[in-house]
Structures are given as C-alpha cells and as structure tokens.
A and B are shown apart, each in its own frame.
Chain A
Amino acid sequence: MLNQSPSDTLDRLVGLLPQSQTYAARREREKVVFATQGSEDGLFDPALPGLSVEERLYVALYACLLTPSPDLAAEYESRLRKLGANLQTILLIQKSDIQGIGNARLEAILNFTHTLITKPISADKMALSALPKAGLSTPEVVTLAQLFHLCLTKFDWLQACVP
C-alpha cells in the first residue's frame, strides 16, 4: 500500500517530492492522503451520476477563485480546457460575471457556491431550495455540496504546506 501516489493532486501542485520533510509528514497519515485523493477521484469520476464533469469543474474553478487558491484554480481551469469546455464560460467565471453565462441551471449552482465559500452562515433553507427549483435532483445537490467542500479542504492544505 505504500505507493508513491505520483498522481496525488496535492503533492503535484505543492511540489512535494518524496525526499521532502512535508511529504514524509503527510505519509504519517496515509489514510488521509488516500481518502483526500479518493474524494477528488470520486467527485470528478465521469461515472458519477448527476452533475456533468464540466459542471463540477466549473464549481471547482469558481470555488478556488473565491477562496482564493490560484494554483488549484489554474489546475481546474486546465482540466476544463482539456475537456473542451466553453472558453467564454471560463472567462465569465474568472470575472465573477455569473449572470452573463446565460444558463439558469449553472447560475443557480455557481450562486450557491459563492454563498457557501464566502459566507456559509448566510446560506439558509431558501438558498438551498434555489437548487431543486433550477432542476437539480437531490443526489446532484449532494454532489455539489460535497464538491466545493472538498475544494475548500484542499485549499487549506495547500496554503499551509511548507515544502
């Protein structure tokens, strides 16, 4: 089980190499390393029903920009580009012009993301109910909720790592 996880997103973005102290420290909690990467793999798995991979990556991009976590934002932007996502949509998200996207479903998703990342205390039952109204099923809401929380967990990590 002691693999080197070359595909570990956090190691790659922070630039943690197996010889570094921080890399070694992370491995003292290997289950956390695997579950963190496992969460990301699961959340962006094309087989996961509900939100499209593109929608999930838009959420991840926006959440990272708001936090702010520029390195992770660049990571998700590059995944969107590889996927052939709409460049205009990426640009509008970067400008935080969510209305300009002109897609009611994506607008509801990204507005919810904005509230949750910047001021979680202000998101009430009304804020949540905007999602089913925009056509999201309950499993899709669960994916969304888990998705940007994962991003947030990861940002905290990135910022605090001292390679």
Chain B
Amino acid sequence: MSAPIHINGFTNDTLGWKAWLDVVQLAQATPAQMSVLEESHPKAKESDYYLFLVHQPEILRQRSLAFNAIMYAPGGLSRAERELASTVVSKINGCVYCASVHAQRFEQLAKRQDVIEQVFEEPHGAGTSDRERAIVDFSIELTLNPDHVNVSSIQKLKDAGLQNSEILDLIHSIAIFAWANRLMLNLGEPIFPSV
C-alpha cells in the first residue's frame, strides 16, 4: 500500500470534487445524457464532474472518447508514464484534485511513489532515471511554454530512448491535462477527507 504524501498542498489522498454551478439531476436526465454518462466512466452517475459536463452531452461524449483513448489504450508509452506526465502537468497548473487522482494511479501501476514525492516537492529536475527526467522536463515545457517546443525538445525524448509512438502518447497525455486541469480547477473544488 502507498504511504500518505502531503507536500506543498498536494497529496495522494482520495479527494472528492464539488461543482460550483448546478449539475444535471439524474431523474431529469435525457436518454442522450444517460447514455453518455454510462459510456464515460463507471461512476459517472455519482460524480459532480460528469453530471456538470453532461449539460452538453455530445461534447462530453467526444471528450470521454479522447480521454479514455489517451490514458488507457494498450501499447505505446506505459500507462504509468502517462500517469506521471498527467501528475506533472496537474502540479504545474496547480490542480490538487487531478494530481491526487493521477499520483494514485501512477503508484498503483508502478508500485512505487518516489518520483511523485519529487514532483510534488519540485517538478523541475524530478525523475528517478534519465528517461523519467526527460518525460518530466517535456511535460513542464509543453505546459508552460508550448510555443517554445521544437524539434530539439522532441530529440531529447528520443535521446532518452522514447520511440515515436511513445512520444505521441506523451504529447496526448500532457495536452488532455491542459484541458482536464482547467475543468477541475475552475468549475468546482476538491473536497478533502475530514481528519
């Protein structure tokens, strides 16, 4: 089991999330809304996040298709490394909720939490190997300075051993969290477990 982490306001605790505006009530949901909830996430019907976004069901459908394909598709970048990139982006953007969820997933997949502690402490330079440091650096660069990313940024990933298909998965994981962070950060707030 993973040990609890509390660093700089970031944690690997299980947090809740509450929307600031009205969510769709299940009893009033249209058939289209119900079907999108069902295909988005096993617990979408209990989640404020999905119940809020399902105000526009077709947009949520496309978003969920993208998210699930990016984070769970087999092959390419390991799922743990995708979760690491997501955690780095969430830390940089300041999304405590997203960081907690994806830190946990990284730990479950990688069976360790050393790099998560480093990322919560200071993302710049975090990583337990050259490959991991390259993934972390690139995640930071694409998040903070997307207009500076160029051929040499990609070359650094190749030098650290990433294949083209892995680089593609990495870019997707970073990009979808530019989006996810802003939904979670700006449409509601995390709920911390009472101590």
Contact = CB atoms under 8 A, between A and B. Distances in A.
Nearest to A151: B179
Interface residues of A, number: 48
A21 B65 contact: no
Contact of B20 (A34, A121, A129, A146): A129
Interface in B130-175: 142, 146-147, 149, 151, 153-154, 164-165, 167-169, 171-172, 174-175
B7 interface: no
Interface string A132-163: 10000011011101101110111111011010
Give the secondary structure class of B's interface.
helix
B24 to A, nearest CB: 9
Contacts of A100: none
Nearest to A31: B69
Contacts of B187: 128, 141, 145
Contacts of A35: 62-63, 65-66, 69
Contact of B179 (A21, A150, A160): A150
Given A120-B186, A125-B20, A155-B146, A160 B171 contact: yes
Nearest to B65: A35
Interface stretch (A1-9, A38-46, A82-90, A103-111): A38-46
A159 B168 contact: no
Given A125-B189, A159-B147, A38 B62 contact: yes
A48 interface: yes
B58 interface: yes
Given A142-B56, A142-B59, A160-B142, A36 B66 contact: yes
Interface string B17-31: 000111000000000
Contacts of B174: 156
Interface of A: 21, 25-26, 28-29, 31-32, 34-36, 38-39, 42-43, 45, 48, 50, 67-69, 116, 120-121, 123, 125, 127-129, 132, 138-139, 141-143, 145-146, 148-150, 152-157, 159-160, 162
